[in-house]
Structure 1
Amino acid sequence: MPLPAPRPVLHPLRTTDSARSTIRRLSHHRMRVTIDHQPLAGVTPPMLLWWFRHIGDEIDYAGERMSGYLAWHPLDHITWELARPAPSGGADEGASYRIVEAFGRDERFRVDSVERVEKLDETGIRLVRRIAGVRIFQLEHTWSWGPDGTHYVSVMDLGSRLRAAAPVNRHLTSRVFPPAMAEAWVRHNVEEVGVLEHLLPDVSKSSLRPPV
């Protein structure tokens, strides 16, 4: 799937120094990337829950109709698909998302992966990928109310805790998702989370109204 033309960037993208981030090497060649974002003014936890349930819906952006996912990061996002609906239907908890993106529009940092939504509620979302029942990838975004807006934290865990999985973990964190890619993801995630500060209030004024 080719990288699509970039959509217009309607708002300045946040820079990495707006957040606190760490990339840590853990036992058995695992990696953990943590990002504590600057608060999202004008965004509430119920709005974020609505967003992830409707991420594939079309919205108005830059004078066009497009999926919310494409508008969310107008440079890096390629496509989002509902690989499997939730038991209750749609993109809710229990669904599987297919996510295709290229961090920094760099083909070296392209991701095309399917993850299961193991949690989705007003406190956050957790995406997990397992092989033979063993968790090898987890991305959890948590959010909470704060005096300056919603507090948003992203934590990505790569690799299994099992000692026997160390060779697989080494391949995952050195070849599939090496440190340079982790750094590119930090920048990407800081940018896309910052976009929500502008996108969600705009969406709330359209025909698709998230709760406030």
Structure 2
Amino acid sequence: MTETALTSGDFTTSREPFALFAAWLEDAGKSEPNDPNAVALATVDSDGLPDVRMVLLKGFDEHGFVFYTNFESAKGQEILSTMKAAMCFHWKSLRRQVRVRGPVEIVSDSEADAYYATRPRGSRIGAWASKQSRPLESRFALEKAVAEYTARYAIGDIPRPAHWSGFRIVPQSIEFWHDRPFRLHDRLVFTRAADGNWEKTRLYP
């Protein structure tokens, strides 16, 4: 583990969140054994109960943080009903955490098509075969659906299902956390102001 991973460095002097997030994600790519882009995604169901699961971040820029899913899944339906969500990245090897909260927007068809085309062929078939989050009578039923769609799209391109696309969390706040001795951690939160600029606040641990 590098010295950068062991200390907070000067991250609390950062003026905007996206360059800092990019640097931390790059560090995670060098030290995390699996999926440095894995993130806990939190939503709220129709009863007002929180729901959380792991997804993979597939892109980010100054507009927000993007992931893809079946819109008919539990998380898809929960997001579509509220258009709000939160994320929490935790990189244990670096002792760092990033929290993101904000409204959600649907990515453009062209953006979803471009990402879908990069997926392995089996994953594209799976997007058709899986009725995500709904009851499954047996493993055989899933394998049968995979076989049926594999035969249907045996030759040529596999189109993106209409129910499969991406969400973008447009952050209203982004918080960076770094472990420090005796639980006197460093916490820095960026909050988007009315004019679109970022306001920075250091928090007690």
Asked whether the two chains share a fold, i.e. TM above 0.5, the reply is no
TM-score in terms of structure 2 length? 0.27
TM-score in terms of structure 1 length? 0.26
Report which of the two structures shows the higher radius of gyration computed on alpha carbons: 2
